[in-house]
Amino acid sequence: MDLANKVAIVTGAASGIGKSTADLFARNGAQILEIDIKFEPIRSGSLHASSTSPIRFHADLKSTYDVQNAIKLVQQKYGRLDIVVNCAGIEMPGNVIELSEESFDQVMQTNVKTVFLVCKYAIPVILESSKNGSIINISSDLGIQPIPNTDAYAASKGAIISLTKALSKNWAKQGLRVNCIAPGPIDTPLLHRFQNDDVLNFVKTTLIPAGRIGTPDEVANLALFLASDKSSFINGAVLTVNGGLLG
Ligand SMILES: NC(=O)c1ccc[n+]([C@@H]2O[C@H](COP(=O)([O-])OP(=O)(O)OC[C@H]3O[C@@H](n4cnc5c(N)ncnc54)[C@H](O)[C@@H]3O)[C@@H](O)[C@H]2O)c1
């Protein structure tokens, strides 16, 4: 049980990589606040009644108010925070000529500002309550090596990498590590909204030496390692999970 006695927040936990990560963390002993805009809002009364982990919390992480409420809930329910996985995100195909200004703002707000807000309010709680904090931000291979017509998404995922590296320098002496996972194509609803089957077949057969796309569990396994104390000297790293994707 790598995460016994640890408390984790996993964002984007209703689907795909976030869901697999939250499930794996729970199987490894963590108490978890799962956050997603897709979860049903819960009335404050029933929130007090539910003490079992995981707690599923509805929040739009673009909202400061929602993020603050989520962090308050962790403090009330568990009294500590050790791990945050920032996984919530949206896809956004298109090049700068095609993309509207609103679409660009939407992807930057959802993919980057949410990470800023969660870190802003979670980090003080981690520093206060944990000697071995770990934050894991989910970027993308497209933040390292963009493909055509992914301009806004690639920019947002590149920003997550830089934000991760900057954060990793701030509180290392207090035991807080911040790392980034950059997945390649992973079999989730987001991937199938982003790329059609013809593109995916081409990617699988010509660009990925493993000859297949990845599973959410294969990303979750790395998140578990980064969340656990077994990765205690890994900080500021950007690790790909992509079957050897050719650049
Ligand atoms: N699937 C891939 O191929 C792939 C590759 C590289 C990176 N990623 C990244 O991995 C992360 C997870 O993606 P996935 O493939 O599991 O997608 P997914 O669509 O299955 O899950 C994303 C979740 O984020 C939630 N979310 C979105 N905006 C939110 C908001 N404002 N507040 C709260 N929750 C919100 C969604 O409701 C959804 O449940 C994303 O950041 C994505 O960019 C995915």
pLDDT of residue 52: 74
Q: Tell me what pLDDT residue 50 has.
A: 58
Q: Whose C-alpha lies nearest to ligand 1, atom 17? A: 190
Per-residue pLDDT tens listing for the chain (247 residues): 799 999 999 999 999 999 999 999 999 999 999 999 999 997 665 565 555 779 999 999 999 999 999 999 999 999 999 999 999 999 999 999 999 999 999 999 999 999 999 999 999 999 999 999 999 999 999 999 999 999 999 999 999 999 999 999 999 999 999 999 999 999 999 999 988 999 999 999 999 999 999 999 999 999 999 999 999 999 999 999 999 999 8
- Helix H, strand E, coil C: the string for 67-108 is HHHHHHHHHHHHCCCCEEEECCCCCCCECCCCCCHHHHHHHH
Q: Which pLDDT score is estimated for 186?
A: 98
CATH of segment(s) 7-241: 3.40.50.720
Protein residue with its CA nearest to atom 26 in ligand 1: 88
Give the C-alpha separation, 6 to 81, whole Å.
Answer: 7
- Predicted local distance difference test score (pLDDT) of residue 21: 98
Q: Is the CB of 106 under 6 A from ligand 1?
A: no
Q: Quick one: pLDDT at residue 45?
A: 56
> For 12, left (φ over 0), alpha (ψ -120 to 50), or beta?
left
pLDDT of residue 127: 98
User: Is 153 tagged catalytic?
Assistant: yes
Q: Is 26 touching ligand 1 by the criterion CB < 6 Å? A: no
Per-domain residue ranges for the chain?
7-241
Which of 178, 174, 176 lies closest to 138 in space, CA to CA? 178
User: Which residue puts its alpha carbon closest to atom 21 of ligand 1?
Assistant: 15
pTM score, whole prediction: 0.97
Q: Which residues of 85-122 are buried (b: 16+ CB within 10 A; e: fewer)?
A: bbbbbbbbebeeeebeeeebebbbbbbbbbbbbbbebb
* CB of residue 158 inside a 6 A radius of ligand 1: no
Find out whether the beta carbon of 16 lies less than 6 Å from any atom of ligand 1: yes
Ligand 1 binding pocket includes 80 (Cβ within 6 Å) = no
Q: For residue 173, report the distance from its CA to the centre of ligand 1, in Å.
A: 31
Q: Which atom of ligand 1 is nearest to the CA of 114?
A: 31
